[in-house]
Chain A
Amino acid sequence: MSKSGEFRSIALIVYRDLTRFWKYKFWLAGQIGMNLADILIYALVFNNMVNTQLIPDYFKFFTTGVIAIAAFASAFSIGREVGIEIRREYTHYLLGLPFTRWVLITGRILGGTLRGLIYQSSFILLAALLVGVPDLYGWLLIAVTSTALSASMSGLAIAISSSTKDFNLQATFRALTYYIFFFFSNVFYPRQVLAMRFPKPLAEAIGYMPVSIAADIYRWAFRYNLEIDIGQRFLLLMVWTTGMLIMASLIYLWNLTRG
């Protein structure tokens, strides 16, 4: 298959995954409602309770952090469909289509990535409105960070969902991974707060989770927290993304072909 043919096939797979995304408009509406309620109710009210010596402005802290949650939750949605395909053995049809397995894997991960980016874009604009407009460098960082986070989460969801044909196990693995990324992140609380209540290694480890790293970069890009070592955070995110994409692709490939 020629290179242009491969790109065309990838584009078709991505297009197919995106059109299916709109079928979940009711799930999306619920998700948007939840994220908006988190920002406009929870964060706004909690801002009046938080110790300002620890977090000077919780509303801004949370609004920038929730962008990471938004990308990760929507990119994760592709796992559900991959799970159905594996259970119904629809994957045999996908493997029978005239493109290579790597084209299929790339297309699926890219489809999930675009879902994350599309969903997240409205929250980026909302953050720009509520927190402040980033400069050009900030926008660039946001774009790369969102793409990297969505890609790694899309790959992870695909790898998890394709690991078993058992619906219950698929849903449990996916939900547990989701909970771990959701709670073990600094979206809701900064590292110094975690260090006050938990052993230092745990607090440190949470700071190195991909959702935490992405939240830190967003906070820097929106000028909420300029004390972050942005170079180190960016490098860490790239390492996470590269590692997770390689692992996820290999696992998905193995699961697709193991019979």
Chain B
Amino acid sequence: MHMPALREDLRGLWLLVIWDLNRMKSRTLFVVMRVSWFALQVSLFGLALSAMVRFRAIAGTNLDYYHFYLFGIYTSMLFSISVSKAYDIAEEFEEGTIEYLLSLPFPRRVLALGRSIGGGIASFLFTLPMFAFIVYLLGSYDPVALTVSMISALAFSIGVVGFVLTVVLSLKSSDSTDIAFGLLDAILVRLSTVFYPALVLSKIAPYYYAALVNPLSHMSDLLRTIFFFEEFKAIAVANPDLMAAYVFGLAVGLSTLAVLVVEKAVEGGGWK
């Protein structure tokens, strides 16, 4: 590729990322609601759950369930906020913004990648206050753990937004988007190690195997092992290297899928 073309592509990518970040301002209410939900989850729901489970006996760790839960609930929040991009994209389709973006003078691959990265960064930034809050509750401020976990969270978010982009642009329907992502969110969060370790899930075989391939399991267990390796290594779905590879593979794979779909299949109009 010629350098000017590459420079143009990078400029387009940058503009799209900025565009997605600017749209964050219109979602203040959404953030307020999510933060309230999160605050109640960790201060009431999480503490109550940790009082009623036999976590140390089951997991054989010297940490209590609340530590386990905090990483899980952060992952589920990151996932839900990234998935909520689906509703934004559906709205853009209804308003004709997608057609406008498709007509802009940069390649489709730049559009797909720019929206995946921009949406991923915006979703990750939304969850930063929540991430800071759980770090404060855990009392673990290891700079390496903080950096690696934030990079992983960003990669995870980019992957999920790439997937969302692919699905919404393929479905081209507000109703189908609503039901598909509502159900996906409900099922994936529960069929993962967000609330319970793989060890407990292993008592129900189909749930266990679903959790093993579920990206939420890999992300939440990766965060757990980044911060408390010794305590959580035995109950994670895989070793940390594999989980990290899974999360980064997810980001690259799903963004590439978004590029392929936007390049080959997406046309303006036809929204149902």
Contact pattern, B 195-206, Cβ under 8 Å of A = 1, otherwise 0? 110001101100
- Across the interface, do A48 and B36 meet the contact criterion of CB distance under 8 Å? no
Within 8 A of B (CB), among A148-199: 168, 171-172, 175-176, 179-180, 183-184, 188-189, 193-194, 196-198
Q: Give the complex CA separation of A71 and B37 in angstroms.
A: 20
| B52 contacts A51, C-beta separation under 8 Å | yes
Whether the Cβ atoms of A45 and B45 lie closer than 8 Å is: no
Q: How many residues of B contact A (CB 8 A)?
A: 37
| B-binding segment of A22-30, A113-121, A209-217, A231-239 | A22-30
B22 at the interface (CB under 8 A from A): no
Mark B159-182 against chain A: 1 for CB-CB distance below 8 A, else 0. Answer: 000000000000000011011001
**Distance (whole angstroms) from the CB of A190 to the closest CB of chain B:** 8
What is the chain A residue whose CB lies nearest that of B178? A26
A50 proximity list for chain B (CB < 8 A): 52-54
Q: Which residue of B lies closest to A168 (CB)?
A: B29
A48–B54 alpha-carbon span in the complex (Å): 9
Residues of A5-28 at the interface with B, using a CB-CB cut-off of 8 Å, are: 26-27
Point out the residue from B41, B54, B176, B190 that lies within 8 Å of A183, measured CB to CB: B41
| Interface-facing stretch out of A31-39, A90-98, A125-133, A240-248 | A31-39
**Are A189 and B196 in contact, CB atoms less than 8 angstroms apart?**
no
B132 at the interface (CB under 8 A from A): no
Chain A residue at minimal CB-CB distance from B33: A175
Does A46 touch B at the CB level, under 8 Å? Answer: yes
Instruction: Answer whether residue A49 sits at the interface, using C-beta atoms and an 8 A cutoff.
Output: yes
Are the C-beta atoms of A46 and B196 separated by less than 8 Å? yes
B87 vs chain A, min Cβ distance (A): 12
A164 CB, nearest partner CB in chain B, Å: 13
Question: Of A54, A179, A183, which one neighbours B52 at CB under 8 angstroms?
Answer: A54
Tell me whether B259 is interfacial, beta carbon within 8 Å.
no
Q: Chain A: interface secondary structure?
A: helix
Q: Determine whether the beta carbon of B52 is less than 8 Å from that of A48.
A: no
Chain A residue with Cβ nearest B44: A183
- Residues 44-89 of B at the A interface (beta carbon under 8 Å): 44-45, 47-55, 58
Our pick among A45, A54, A171, A179 for the contact of B196 (Cβ within 8 Å) is A45
The answer on a CB contact under 8 Å between A51 and B179 is no
Taking CB atoms, residues of chain A closer than 8 Å to B182 are 26-27, 29-31, 33-34
Does B49 lie within 8 Å of A188, measured CB to CB? Answer: yes
The distance in angstroms between the C-alpha atoms of A168 and B45, with both chains bound, is 26
Contact A51 B53 (CB under 8 A): yes
Q: Is B187 an interface residue (CB 8 A)?
A: yes
- Contact between A189 and B203, CB atoms less than 8 A apart: no
Cross-chain contact A30 with B183 (CB below 8 angstroms): yes
A188 touches B204 (CB 8 A): no
* A41, CB-defined interface residue at 8 Å: yes
* Residue of A whose beta carbon sits closest to that of B191: A41
Asked if A103 is at the interface of the complex by the 8 Å CB criterion, the answer is no
**Which residues of the partner chain B approach A37 to less than 8 Å between Cβ atoms?**
186-187, 190-191
* Closest chain B CB from A168 CB (angstroms): 5
Given contacts A26-B179, A44-B204, contact A175 B36 (CB under 8 A): yes
- The 4 tightest CB contacts between A and B, nearest first, are A30-B182, A34-B186, A41-B190, A189-B48
18 A/B residue pairs, CB under 8 Å, sorted by A: A26-B182, A27-B178, A30-B178, A30-B183, A37-B191, A41-B207, A45-B201, A45-B203, A45-B207, A46-B196, A48-B196, A51-B52, A168-B28, A168-B29, A171-B29, A172-B32, A189-B48, A194-B51
